[in-house]
Structure 1
Amino acid sequence: MFKKDENIILGISIGDMNGVGPEVILKTFEDQRMMEFCTPVVFGNAKLLSFIKKVVNCTTNIHGIDALDQIQKGKFNVLNVWKEGVNLDFGTLDDTVGQYAIKSFIAATDALKNDEIDALVTAPINKYNIQSNDFKFPGHTDYLNQELEGNALMFMVSDAIKVGLVTDHVPLQNVSQHITSDLIKQKVRTINQSLIQDFNVIKPRIALLGLNPHSGDNGIIGMEEQNFIIQTVKELFDENIIVYGPYSADAFFGSEQHKNFDAVVACYHDQGLIPFKTLTFGTGVNYTAGLNKIRTSPDHGTAYDIAGKGTADCTSFKNAVYTALDIYKNKNEYLQSTANPLKVSTI
């Protein structure tokens, strides 16, 4: 196995194999020049991926391996996490296939924790068929938050806009119960630090959206803004975090105010992701900020309706690869630049 400093080792979980995940992975690395940026290793099964390759008419050369110390630079490595065959029915929700998606993801996460890979890109899963007695998480982010160090934050990123969430996979009726001043502070601090160390933004400008329509209209449509959100923004500003708000979400995006900020913080899932995907769908990236390891994913789901047809667009997955590599380099440069070069005396 080659030394890590020669090339970034990029782990990839295979996702739901009845969806477009394997196809966009194969298409991303169909161009051999991608191997100049990183050495990919897909956690799955080489024979199964070779079968999918033929179905979607890809030309990617597959190098099957049985252990991570067999990874070869310049090749599209596929680690055999399992040896048995799996029956696929493209476009179908299948509990068995869902469990193999989680086998891939857990194996890749373990490798990430053990520094056997440098970063992780996850292909799309279906949140329904991954559930089991051993895996009871709404998705990738929640499991990574348990397994890795730090506090995970769903950070949707693109060149045009970056959106972070105070709450992510929470039912709408429960959102107001989850949002507190402490939670908002935690998320804004995480986004501020991520912008600095992961995206090279020296002095980030952050906008916080209000929870209620029109940010509550001075208490007429909800009191959360008046009770604690406005004060929370002031307290964060006193910490030298440049954050403004709360803004009325509809007017904020409608007037393109997001262009004046390095990131936008939304109170709940759809408040942030609807405008993000409207502006960037097919090119955006989901980055799990706030953890000690790097994970990205494309901004789309399993796309069962086009699975197995060879028509899936790999742009978002390719951008997820590029983003993971950029963050890896930025984070290392930041840590080196902020490390104390002087050894502490023990005398």
Structure 2
Amino acid sequence: MEEHKIRVAITHGDINGISYEIILKTFAEPAMLELCTPIIYGSPKIAAYYRKSLDLPVNFNTITSASEAAYNKLSVVNCIDDEVKVEFSKPDIEAGRAALDALEKAIEEYKEGLIDVLVTAPINKQTIQSDSFSFPGHTEYLEERIGNGNKSLMILMKEGLRVALVTGHIPVSQIATDITKKQIREKLVIFERALREDFG
């Protein structure tokens, strides 16, 4: 019997940024495919462009849904129009739309129970802004879309270390005025629960 590996959805983020480079370099390492079933929500065409540009030894399957993802293979769900152009390091509204389209498709499949974990690659926080996305970042958007009334908490981790942020996406100049005792208490409760339930 084949062991179930968690299905990890990875949204492609800003197609003109470093997202595809990070994702493809990660899964060029064969050992990564032993840990999970990775599914990129993005564009097979753009993934192939970056694979060629970066000369990476990584293969992937093109699928229409996470339900088609193959064990021990990297898969890509096409979420965007194939005509979207990559202009590396150039902020672009089309790239922002592409980031949002991938995020929305991944959330839809998360809600359907087709994926276990959602990883978001970096976005351009200016170009993604639209009528559908008026948030400072992914965290607040995800809280609104799938939080079920629960508050979010950004947690950074490395090996055994876990660090949680009290504030969200705000300028450094506002941090001192934004932090309150009440907010610290609320975030500590969320963090303590996450440490127990999610990290054992």
Q: Same fold (TM over 0.5)?
A: yes
In the TM superposition, 1:75-154 aligns within 5 A as: 75-148=73-146, 149=148, 150-154=150-154
The C-alpha deviation readout for 1:235-294, integer Å capped at 9, x for no partner, is xxxxxxxxxxxxxxxxxxxxxxxxxxxxxxxxxxxxxxxxxxxxxxxxxxxxxxxxxxxx
Distance 1:24 1:176, change over 3 A: closer
- Other structure's SS at 2:154 match: strand
Conserved? CA contact 1:63–1:77, under 8 Å: yes
Structure 2, unaligned runs of 5 or more: none
Q: For residue 32 of structure 1, report the CA deviation from its aligned partner.
A: 2.4
| Corresponding residue of 1:165 | 165
- Residue of structure 1 in register with 2:194 after alignment: 194
Cα displacement (A) at 1:82: 2.4
User: Over residues 274-317 of structure 1, what are the superposed CA-to-partner deviations in whole Å (9 max), with x where a residue is unaligned?
Assistant: xxxxxxxxxxxxxxxxxxxxxxxxxxxxxxxxxxxxxxxxxxxx
Match of 2:13 in 1: 15
For the aligned residues, what is the CA RMSD? Answer: 2.1
The residue number in structure 1 matching 2:183 is: 183
Structure 2 residue aligned with 1:64? 62
8 A contact 1:41–1:71 mirrored in 2: yes
SS of match in other structure, 2:45: helix
Equivalent residue letter for 1:81: C
Q: What's the CA shift string for 1:199-232, capped at 9, x where partnerless?
A: 23xxxxxxxxxxxxxxxxxxxxxxxxxxxxxxxx
Letter of the 1:26 partner, please give it: L
Give the aligned length: 198
Structure 1 range deviating more: 81-90 or 36-45: 81-90
CA shift in 2, pair 1:85/1:138, >3 Å:
same
Contact 2:46–2:86 (CA under 8 A) maintained in structure 1 = no
- The one-character-per-residue Cα deviations of 1:176-205 (angstroms, maximum 9, x if unpaired) are 5544433221101111122222223xxxxx
Q: 1:20 to 1:176 in 2, by over 3 A?
A: closer
CA distances 1:93-152 after superposition (whole Å, capped 9, x unpaired): 112111101111121122222211000111111111111122101111001111223210
Query: Which residue type is aligned with residue 93 of structure 1?
Result: P
Per the alignment, do residues 86 and 74 of structure 1 end up closer, same or farther by CA in structure 2, a change over 3 Å counting?
A: same
Q: Percent identity?
A: 35
Q: Distance in 2 between matches of 1:61 and 1:173?
A: 44
* Counterpart residue number, 1:342: none
- Distance across 1 between alignment mates of 2:170 and 2:29: 39
5 Å-filtered alignment, 1:1-347, equals 6-148=4-146, 149=148, 150-159=150-159, 161-171=161-171, 174-175=174-175, 178-200=178-200
Tell me if the contact between 1:48 and 1:85 (Cα under 8 Å) persists in the aligned partners. Answer: no
Quick one: structure 1 residues 179 and 38, their matched pair in 2 at CA, closer, same or farther if it must change by over 3 Å?
same
Q: CA deviation at 1:84?
A: 2.3
Gaps of 5+ in 1: 201-347
Residues of 1 paired with 2:69 and 2:125: CA distance? 30
TM-aligned CA deviation for residue 174 of structure 1: 4.8
For 2:35 and 2:163, how far apart are their aligned partners in 1? 27
Tell me, yes or no, if the aligned pair for 1:7 and 1:39 is still in contact at 8 Å: yes
**Offset, 1:83:** 4.1
TM-aligned CA distance change 1:81 to 1:185, over 3 Å = same
Give, in whole Å, the separation in 2 of the partners of 1:68 and 1:167: 33
For normalisation by structure 2, the TM-score amounts to: 0.89
Counterpart code for 2:165:
L
SS at match of 1:199: coil
**Per the alignment, do residues 120 and 177 of structure 1 end up closer, same or farther by CA in structure 2, a change over 3 Å counting?**
same
Match of 1:204 in 2: none
**Structure ID, larger Rg:** 1
Change (3 A) 1:159 1:8: closer
